[in-house]
Amino acid sequence: MNFKLKDIGPQLITVLAVVLVFGFFTYNAQVNMENRGIDFGYGFLSQESSFDVQFSLIEYDGSHSYFRAYLVGLLNTILVSVIGIILATILGVIVGIARLSPNYLINKFAAFYVEFFRNIPLLLQIFFWYFAALRALPLPQDAEPMFGISFLTIKGLFVPAFIWQNFNVFFYSIVAAIIAIIVIRIHAKKKQETLGKQTPVLFISIGLLLILPLLSFLIGGVRLSFEIPVLKQLATTSFIYEGGVSLPPELIALALSLSLYTATFIAECVRAGIQGVGKGQKEAAASIGLTPNQVLKLVIMPQALRIIIPPTTNQYLNLTKNSSLAAAIAYPDLVLVFAGTALMQTGKAIEIVSITMFTYLSLSISISILMNWYNKKIAIQEK
């Protein structure tokens, strides 16, 4: 009996404390809302939002619902995160490898980059790019074309738009290529395990990825043309480019600073991963007659990736969460559109903040579940 009490006591006290705190908050929230005449509910999501958003991926204006505004914000967050992740990965891997270079200058240059960008607050970097660096760009009418087709101006980056005909045929051809590659990979693995013969999977996959879409152009009737942005006069001194795709300066500043900042952390992950593979592994692999390429592909990379991928995913998550700093430079992401404008209009603080937090939470929890599964899968089976 005594033993059981010792077991249950602390748990009971903790749970009681948590319940008390939550109960206190809920009670107060109810009382406060009653006093102020606010009613709790998510019904406002279907009401007309009556505010406009500067930049959205889907069709949106004031006559759409708040839920649509939420989607606009979410898509903008995902857009800037995806751009940032791609750029940060490319830069991070290059810098991480450069940090291991035997070349003194390259090594120090990479180290300088990492130390410099890692130790400055991200918000400051975003402000710097947006308010100081990008403001030095030329006005639309003075902009020099880059490669003759795209324009980098103070009002954003204007690039040609793709105009597809029969896009679905092209899309199906890519899907078919990917399925074919997966099948070939499985087949090649089986073949290697049973017969010990290697198939050049990489070349076959690259070939498939090139040939199938090409075939869709030749046979499937897919056509691609470009719409090049043209200068248009709005008023006597105000110009803008029309046609093509325009990326607002907020997006450029945000993606640039997010990727420059996160790349430093990814570089450190990559460096730690490659350094974490013992020197003996490399020598052992070489001594059984593998070529340098095979050593890299079959021995170093699988082990290094095991160390690199978990912290790198963490950095991707951080980047996605950091993209919420967009609110500081008025890039219409989830926080600005939903937790900013929509909250101001409806006054539904609890509902809107909880939806916003829940969105980020579900995003990162789903990724961390995926990560745990992956970690378990690749973990070394020890006896």
Partner 1 sequence: MSKINFLKPDKSNLYTFLYLGSFLFFISVLDVLFNSFFNINLTGFLPNFLSFLLPLILGFIGLYFIRIELSGIKQLDLLNKHINTNNFNAVLSLLIIFIILKSIPPTLSWFFVDASFAGDSKDVCTGSGACWTYIKVWMRRFMYGMYPNGEQWRINLSFIALALLGSVGYFATDRFKKYLTLYYVVIYPFIAFLFIFFFISGGPVFFDFSYGIIAAILSIIIGFFIPGKFRFYYFLIVPLALYVLLKYFIFYEELIELGKLDGLNWVETGAWGGLSLTFIISFFCLIFCFPIGMAFALGRRSGFPLIRYISIGFIEFWRGVPLITVLFMSAVMFPMFLPADFFIDKLVRCIIAISLFEAAYVAEVIRGGLQALPRGQYEAAKSLGMGYWRMHIFVILPQALKLVIPGIANTFLALVKDTPLIFVVGLLEIVGMLNLAKTNPEWLGFAMEGYVFAAIIFWIICYAMSKYSYNLEEKYKTDR
Binding site for partner 1 (CB under 8 A): 7, 10-11, 14-15, 18, 24-25, 28-29, 31-33, 35, 101-106, 109, 115-116, 118-125, 127-128, 131-133, 135, 321-322, 324-325, 327-328, 335, 339, 343, 349-350, 353-354, 356-357, 360-361, 363-365, 368
Q: Is 321 exposed, middle or buried (0-12, 13-18, 19+ CB in 10 A)?
A: middle
Closest approach of partner 1 to the CB of residue 365, in Å: 6
CB nearer to partner 1: pick between 116 and 164: 116
CB nearer to partner 1: pick between 272 and 309: 272
CB nearer to partner 1: pick between 212 and 254: 254
Closest approach of partner 1 to the CB of residue 109, in Å: 5
Nearest to 158 by CA among 287, 248, 39, 34: 248
Beta pairing class for 230-233 and 239-242: antiparallel
Q: 158-177: b or e for each residue (b if 16 or more CB lie within 10 Å)? A: bbbeeeeeeeebbeebeeeb
Closest approach of partner 1 to the CB of residue 7, in Å: 7
CB nearer to partner 1: pick between 135 and 187: 135
Closest approach of partner 1 to the CB of residue 6, in Å: 11
CB nearer to partner 1: pick between 251 and 355: 355
Strands (DSSP E) found in 57-134: none
Q: 24-50: b or e for each residue (b if 16 or more CB lie within 10 Å)? A: eeeeeeeeeeeeeebeeeeebbeeebe
38/120 Cα distance (integer angstroms): 42
CB nearer to partner 1: pick between 118 and 282: 118
3-state helix, strand, coil in the chain (%, to 5): 70, 10, 20
Which residues does residue 158 pair with via DSSP β-bridges, in sequence order? 151, 246
Which residues does residue 162 pair with via DSSP β-bridges, in sequence order? 226
For residues 244 and 159, the answer to whether their CB atoms sit within 8 Å is yes
Closest approach of partner 1 to the CB of residue 69, in Å: 17
Closest approach of partner 1 to the CB of residue 11, in Å: 4
